[in-house]
């Protein structure tokens, strides 16, 4: 799921409905901060029921479809992120084995 695209669609639908984040959040029984994180695509965890509740209130629907293949740019970005995470994990292990001596 692409939370950045989902968040943009939710923000657009909310504004078309003439609602502020605070108004929509209040009607849904959630915090404005959670709604803001969703709209900006930075939310770490959001349950499907909560997402369905937001979509229903705004006249949107959730669909499930086969995933499209990654573009070359997306594949490179994913690979780069995975490599960086592997480096961080390796550095953490090395730091535990040799305190004060990290690779430069």
Contact in structure between 44 and 72 (CB atoms under 8 Å): no
Contact assessment for residue 95 and residue 48, using Cβ atoms and an 8 Å cutoff: no
Proportion of the chain above pLDDT 90, given as a percent = 60
Q: How far is residue 7's CA from residue 60's CA, in Å, rounded to a whole number?
A: 12
User: For position 5, what pLDDT does the model report?
Assistant: 87
Predicted confidence at residue 65, as pLDDT, reads 83
Tens-place pLDDT, residues 53-99: 999 999 999 988 888 898 999 889 999 999 999 999 998 888 888 87
List Cβ neighbours of 69 (8 Å cut-off, separation of 6 or more).
none
Cα–Cα distance measured from residue 90 to residue 13, given in angstroms and rounded to the nearest whole number: 44
Closest of 61, 54, 5 to residue 34, by C-alpha: 54
Query: Is-above-0.85 flag for pTM?
Result: no
**Mean pLDDT of the region 25-43:** 93
Q: For residue 104, is pLDDT > 70?
A: no
């Amino acid at each position: 799921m692409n939370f950045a695209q989902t968040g943009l669609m939710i923000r657009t639908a909310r504004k078309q409905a003439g609602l502020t984040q605070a108004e929509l959040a209040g009607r849904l029984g959630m915090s404005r901060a959670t709604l803001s994180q969703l709209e900006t695509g930075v939310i770490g965890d959001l349950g499907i029921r909560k997402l369905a509740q937001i979509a229903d209130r705004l006249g949107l629907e959730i669909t499930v479809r086969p995933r499209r293949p990654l573009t070359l740019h997306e594949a490179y970005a994913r690979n780069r992120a995975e490599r960086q995470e592997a480096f961080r994990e390796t550095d953490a292990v090395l730091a535990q084995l040799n305190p004060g001596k990290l690779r430069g």
